């Protein structure tokens, strides 16, 4: 392995690079800055480091990373191009399977996806796939790179897309690349869905979304923002005026459990808290999302997924007095990215495991703490009651389906849990298609699969685009 005294000479053709150069993640910014700023926590990776890290790839004959990535990105191929200083070619190849590589590179849980599957993740340290994807895509956007779509004939077809989240954007981009006009409607003032109105700036700075919006508009995607389908424009209208419709509207009903005391002052739903913060930082005028200032408060966040991590880390940055994340099971059962848990810990979040909340306690209508039942079996005291004091409690138990009221009047089928029902797939590797029960109406992302990941929403949006192209016979 490399040592600091002997700098390693890098040769992109050397298949043993992984033995000579260690896995090296992008450096993190200093902790005291991270604890107060909502800007991204990783430093930029220099060109030389980028090439060396990409050069660690073994170019396996059967690339497990590629299979594990829901978009089946051509990972070893763009790593090889990057190792050989061919960054623009790498960006071009990246965009063939992923319309938002700079975003996936930032927010995908690589430790559960591509990097987990990397052959080198067996003691040598996986290739830093996510960081390389992010850096290459960032460079291409900064340099104003655009794909050459001049040879693609216009089909004259138009598709309405409801929702500018990852699913909608994934669908719109692929349609555009095939000469189909995509018009994306969203109720919010900016594109991105939860990328903008959910995920905080320390994971994904909002300027990144604007750069991607510029890119998408340049290749022909049209956005109609601040437009709620149902009140500003009707679904029936879109169905009539467009050749097909894609629904990518996400899942927005928060799971609250039946916790007693959840109506007390100081109990906040996770997404309301995060959006309130983003509104305040970006000066959007979204009246339904007030700003919650948690400075000097003792904060408890209930839950253990990505949303909970975003809340605890936001509360730290707001200078809360203490921030505790309380999860009902053990640390290894936590559903979110391990890396985010580590980042939260470094920033000062305290984790408490094996506590199931039973009631939110209050004094004069204001939160004073939470009562829990211990689920710990190793102490021999399961069922023991535990109290923790708090001035604010954020509920981050996840999300369930939020079907629009016009689904019923338009006979759009949903499952018992409210998720949109799609038809079985004719392709053996896919469990279902993105075609709803209504001909010409497709759906994908969280509203079909339940709250999941950015990359799986993009994958479903792209699959829907392929099915729409078949349907339109273009
Ligand atoms: C706080 C938080 C953090 C997360 N962190 C991560 C992470 O780190 N990594 C990861 O991979 N995933 C993460 N996720 C999950 C990820 O963000 C979602 O799985 C993904 O955004 C789903 O994409 P989507 O396009 O299906 O829906 P969304 O992103 O929810 O987008 C749906 C869009 O539809 C619009 N819409 C809905 N109804 C209407 C209507 N009637 N008219 C007009 N517009 C409408 C909404 O305004 C929204 O913009 C996180 C989720 C949350 C809540
Ligand atoms: S899209 Fe996500 S899973 Fe796929 S290669 Fe990129 S970071 Fe890995």
Instruction: Kindly identify the ligand whose nearest atom is closest to the C-alpha of 78.
Output: 2
104 alpha carbon – ligand 2 mean position (Å)? 6
SS3 28: strand
Instruction: Kindly identify the ligand whose nearest atom is closest to the C-alpha of 100.
Output: 2
Distance CA 136, CA 132 (A): 6
Question: Measuring CA to CA, which residue among 218, 212, 87, 211 is closest to residue 150?
Answer: 218
| Contact between 26 and 42 (Cβ < 8 Å) | yes
Other Cβ atoms within 10 Å of 12 Cβ, number: 16
Q: Is any atom of ligand 1 closer than 6 Å to the C-beta of 228?
A: yes
Q: What is the pTM of this model?
A: 0.95
**Polymer length of the chain:** 474
Phi, psi of 57 (to 5 degrees): -60, 140
For residue 2, the model assigns a pLDDT of 46
Question: For 269-306, how does the pLDDT look when each residue is reduced to its tens digit (9 = 90+)?
Answer: 999 999 999 999 999 878 889 999 999 999 999 999 99
- Lookup: tokens for 107: 């927010």
| Contact between 261 and 361 (Cβ < 8 Å) | yes
CB half-sphere exposure, 357, CA atoms < 13 A? 28
Instruction: Kindly identify the ligand whose nearest atom is closest to the C-alpha of 95.
Output: 2
SS3 301: strand
- Lookup: tokens for 353: 């495991």
466 alpha carbon – ligand 2 mean position (Å)? 20
Domains of the chain, earliest start first: 17-35+42-142 (1.10.1060.10), 158-251+403-472 (3.50.50.60), 254-400 (3.50.50.60)
| Contact between 399 and 446 (Cβ < 8 Å) | yes
251 alpha carbon – ligand 1 mean position (Å)? 7
Q: Is any atom of ligand 1 closer than 6 Å to the C-beta of 229?
A: yes
| Contact between 253 and 404 (Cβ < 8 Å) | no
Q: From first to last of the 474 residues of the chain, give the pLDDT tens digit.
A: 444 556 667 888 888 888 899 999 999 999 999 999 999 999 999 999 999 999 999 999 899 999 999 999 999 999 999 999 999 999 999 999 999 999 999 999 999 999 999 999 999 999 999 999 999 999 999 999 999 999 999 999 999 999 999 999 999 999 999 999 999 999 999 999 999 999 999 999 999 999 999 999 999 999 999 999 999 999 999 999 999 999 999 999 999 878 999 999 999 999 999 999 999 999 987 888 999 999 999 999 999 999 999 999 999 999 999 999 999 999 999 988 888 999 999 999 999 999 999 999 999 999 999 999 998 765 556 688 999 999 999 999 999 999 999 999 999 999 999 999 999 998 888 889 999 999 999 999 999 999 999 999 999 999 999 999 999 999
Other Cβ atoms within 10 Å of 221 Cβ, number: 24
SS3 64: helix
Q: Is any atom of ligand 2 closer than 6 Å to the C-beta of 136?
A: no
221 alpha carbon – ligand 1 mean position (Å)? 19
User: Distance between alpha carbon 127 and the CA centroid of its chain, in Å?
Assistant: 21
Phi, psi of 132 (to 5 degrees): -70, -45
All residues at 6 or more sequence positions from 302 whose CB lies less than 8 Å from its CB, including other chains = 308, 326, 357, 370, 393, 394, 395, 396, 397
Q: Is any atom of ligand 2 closer than 6 Å to the C-beta of 394?
A: no
282 alpha carbon – ligand 1 mean position (Å)? 18
For residue 3, the model assigns a pLDDT of 46
């Amino acid at each position: 392995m490399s040592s600091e005294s002997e700098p390693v000479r890098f040769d992109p053709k050397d298949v043993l690079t992984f033995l000579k150069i260690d896995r090296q993640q992008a450096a993190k910014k200093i902790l005291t800055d991270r604890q107060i700023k909502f800007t991204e926590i990783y430093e930029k990776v220099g060109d030389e480091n980028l090439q060396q890290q990409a050069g660690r790839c073994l170019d396996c004959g059967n690339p497990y990373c590629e299979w594990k990535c829901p978009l089946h990105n051509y990972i070893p191929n763009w790593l090889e191009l990057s190792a050989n200083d061919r960054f623009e070619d790498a960006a071009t190849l990246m965009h063939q399977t992923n319309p938002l590589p700079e975003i996936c590179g930032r927010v995908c849980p690589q430790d559960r996806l591509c990097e987990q599957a990397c052959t080198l993740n067996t003691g040598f340290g996986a290739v830093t796939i996510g960081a390389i994807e992010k850096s290459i895509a960032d460079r291409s956007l900064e340099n104003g790179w655009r794909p050459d779509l001049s040879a693609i004939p216009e089909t004259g077809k138009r598709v309405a897309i409801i929702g500018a989240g990852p699913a909608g954007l994934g669908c719109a981009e692929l349609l555009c690349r095939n000469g189909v006009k995509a018009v994306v409607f969203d109720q919010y003032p900016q594109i991105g869905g939860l990328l903008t109105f959910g995920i905080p700036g320390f994971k994904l700075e909002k300027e990144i979304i604007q750069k991607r919006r510029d890119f998408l508009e340049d290749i022909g995607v049209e956005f109609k923002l601040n437009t709620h389908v149902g009140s500003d424009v009707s679904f029936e209208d879109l169905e009539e005026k467009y050749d097909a419709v894609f629904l990518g509207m996400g899942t927005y009903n928060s799971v609250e459990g039946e916790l007693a005391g959840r109506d007390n002052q100081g109990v906040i739903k996770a997404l309301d808290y995060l959006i309130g913060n983003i509104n305040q930082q970006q000066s959007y005028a979204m009246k339904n999302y007030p700003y919650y200032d948690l400075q000097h408060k003792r904060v408890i966040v209930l839950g253990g997924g990505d949303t909970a991590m975003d809340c605890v880390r936001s509360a730290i940055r707001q200078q809360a007095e203490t921030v505790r994340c309380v999860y009902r099971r053990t640390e290894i059962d936590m559903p979110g990215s391990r890396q985010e848990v580590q980042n939260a810990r470094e920033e000062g979040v305290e984790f408490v495991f094996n506590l199931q909340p039973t009631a939110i306690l209050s004094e004069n209508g204001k939160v004073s703490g939470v009562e829990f039942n211990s689920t710990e079996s190793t102490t021999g005291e399961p069922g023991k009651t535990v109290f923790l004091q708090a001035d604010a409690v954020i509920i981050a138990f996840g999300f369930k389906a939020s079907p629009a009221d016009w689904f019923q009047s338009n006979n759009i089928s949903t499952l018992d849990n409210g998720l949109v029902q799609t038809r079985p797939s004719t392709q053996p590797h896919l469990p279902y298609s993105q075609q709803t029960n209504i001909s010409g109406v497709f759906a994908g992302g969280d509203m079909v699969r339940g709250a999941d990941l950015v990359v799986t929403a993009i994958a479903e949006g792209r699959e829907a685009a392929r099915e729409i192209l078949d349907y339109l016979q273009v």
